[in-house]
Structure 1
Amino acid sequence: PQYVKPYVKGNKNDFIDAAAIAEAASRPSMRFVAVKTEDAQVIATIHRIRDGYIKERTACMSRIGAILLEFGLSLPKGHAKMKALFQWLAEQNQELPPSLLNELCSIHEHYSYLSQQIKKQDIKLHDISENNELARLLKTIPGIGDLTSTLCIADVSSSNNFANGRNMAAWLGLVPRQFSTGGKPKLLGVSKRGNKQLRTLFVHGARAVLSRPDTTGKVFGQWLVNLRATKPFNVVVVALANKLARIAWAVLQHRQAFKAAKQP
C-alpha cells in the first residue's frame, strides 16, 4: 500500500484507489508480492498455529506466577520449575488453600496441554524439513534448523524474487537504514523491515553459531573472529544473521548444499 499512496489523486475512494493501483502496477520499477503455493501456505499456517500456542503458554506461565505472588510465593522463571510446580510448592513449606491448589492444578494441565501441542507442531515441521529437498539443503547451513528452513520455504517461495542475497537480507530488515542527503551517506541501525518472524529466526540462528565459536563458528573463519574482537556482541549477531540470509539465498538459487570455504 505504501507504494500505491503516491499515485492517489484527490480524496480517497474506491475508484481513485483502483486508478492508483493500476497506475502503480504499470511502473517498471514497482515491486510485487510473490504468489505462494498451497504447500507454502500450509507450512506458514503450521508456524502461525505454533506461535499462537507459544504465546498462550507464556501467558499461562505468567498467570500462574502472578497468582502465587499474591500468596507470597515467587515462582522462579523457566519451564523446569513450571513442570515441577507442585513439587516446588511442597518444598516451600507454606500451607495454601485447597481450592487454590485445585485452580493451580487446572491451569497447570492447560500449560501441559499447550506444551504437547507445540511438540506436535515441531514434529510436523521436522517431517516437512526432512521430506523437502530445499529444506534439507538449507539445514546444511550452520545455525539453520527445522524452523528457519521451513519458514524460508513458506515465505521466500522462490529465490528468483530477489536479484541477489543482499536484496533478500534487505527484505528481511537485516541491512542498515539509510538517511542520506546532499551526497552525504548516513547509515543508521538495521531497518527491521519486512518479515519479522523470519528475521527473528535468522538472528537466533546467528546467536546459536556464536555460542559455539570453536565448532559451528569455525566455518566463517577469520572474518567472524575479527568481527567479534572489534564489534559489540549484538552487532556481530546481526552481521552474522545478514550473512546467513545471503547464504540461504545462494543455496535456494543454486540448489546446492552449503560448503564451508577452506581455511588457510
Structure 2
Amino acid sequence: MGDLAIRDQLPGALLHLIDDLALHWKTVIERIVACDAAIASTASKDIRCVRARQVIGVGALTADALVATVGDAREFKNGRQMAAWLGLAPTQHSSGGKSRLGTISCRGDSYLRTLLIQGARSSLQRAKAVAIEKATPEQLWIRDLVARLPFGKVLVAIANKHARQLWAMLAREEDYDAHAWLKHPMVQRPRSTRPFQTA
C-alpha cells in the first residue's frame, strides 16, 4: 500500500517513463534468457564444447567463446603457446643472464581471457572447499598457490593452466583427465635423471 501511495504522488510523465523503463528491462531480461538458452543449446551439440565444459569453471558461455575464438587448437604448437596467445602468460625480462617474469601480456582476445579468469574463481572455491584427502592433484596445487601468491595472481595461474588443459583436450580430441600430468615425460623419467633432485 505504501508503494502505491507514493506512486500516486508522482507526476504522470515520470510514471510513464518508469513504466517504459520497466518494460524495457523486462525485454532485456527475456533476450538474455533466450541468448543463454541458444548458447547452451549450441554448446551441448558441439563435442568440442562438451569436452571443454568438463573443466571446472568452464561453462557453456566460455566453451562456446573458446571454440569460436580458437577454432582449430592444432594451429598452436602447444598449450603454452595458446595461453600466451590469450595473454595469460607472463612477460619475460632477461638481464645479466637472469630471466625474470613480469606481468601477463594481456594480448589476444580480452573477452575470452576474462571468461577464463572468472571461471578460475570456481576452481579456486572448489579447491578451498574440498577435503584434503579428496582433493585432486590440481586442487592441491591450487591450495599451494593460495598459500604463496596474491589472489589475482592465483586466478591468472589457474586460468593459464585451464588454457593449457583446454588446448590438450581440443588438439588431441581427448576428454578431461585429472591425472593427465602423470603422463608428462618429466614425471615418467627415473628420479635419478630428473633435474634439481636432492639426496
Q: Same fold (TM over 0.5)?
A: yes
- 1:190 pairs with one of 101, 104, 122: 104
Three-state SS of the structure 1 residue aligned to 2:102 is strand
Equivalent residue number for residue 223 of structure 1: 141
| Paired AA for residue 76 in structure 2 | F
1: distance between equivalents of 2:5 and 2:157?
46
Residue 3 (structure 2) pairs with residue 90 (structure 1): yes
1:255 is displaced (CA, Å) by 1.1
1:180 is displaced (CA, Å) by 2.9
Query: How far does the alpha carbon of each residue in 1:152-183 deviate from its partner, in whole angstroms, 9 at most, with x for none?
Result: 11111111111100000000000112333453
Equivalent residue number for residue 186 of structure 2: none
1:228 is displaced (CA, Å) by 0.7
Query: How far does the alpha carbon of each residue in 1:39-62 deviate from its partner, in whole angstroms, 9 at most, with x for none?
Result: xxxxxxxxxxxxxxxxxxxxxxxx
| Paired AA for residue 105 in structure 1 | D
Moved more, 161-170 or 174-183: 174-183
2: distance between equivalents of 1:226 and 1:91?
56
Three-state SS of the structure 1 residue aligned to 2:169 is helix
Three-state SS of the structure 1 residue aligned to 2:88 is coil
Equivalent residue number for residue 241 of structure 1: 159
Equivalent residue number for residue 174 of structure 2: 256
1: distance between equivalents of 2:106 and 2:6?
48
Change (3 A) 1:176 1:90: same
1:200 is displaced (CA, Å) by 0.6
Three-state SS of the structure 1 residue aligned to 2:106 is coil
Give the 5 Å matches for 1:158-177.
158-177=72-91
Three-state SS of the structure 2 residue aligned to 1:189 is strand
- 2:44 pairs with one of 130, 149, 152: 130
Q: Identify unmatched segments of 5+ residues in structure 2.
A: 181-199
Change (3 A) 1:98 1:130: same
Q: Identify unmatched segments of 5+ residues in structure 1.
A: 1-86
| TM norm structure 2 | 0.79
| TM norm structure 1 | 0.61
2: distance between equivalents of 1:182 and 1:238?
28
2: distance between equivalents of 1:218 and 1:237?
18
Change (3 A) 1:212 1:222: closer
Three-state SS of the structure 2 residue aligned to 1:227 is helix
Query: How far does the alpha carbon of each residue in 1:208-249 deviate from its partner, in whole angstroms, 9 at most, with x for none?
Result: 22223225x933132111111111111111100000000000
1: distance between equivalents of 2:35 and 2:179?
35
Question: How many matched pairs?
Answer: 174
Change (3 A) 1:225 1:116: same
Moved more, 221-230 or 156-165: 221-230
Equivalent residue number for residue 125 of structure 2: 211
2: distance between equivalents of 1:120 and 1:194?
28
Residue 61 (structure 2) pairs with residue 147 (structure 1): yes
Query: How far does the alpha carbon of each residue in 1:49-85 deviate from its partner, in whole angstroms, 9 at most, with x for none?
Result: xxxxxxxxxxxxxxxxxxxxxxxxxxxxxxxxxxxxx
1:258 is displaced (CA, Å) by 0.5
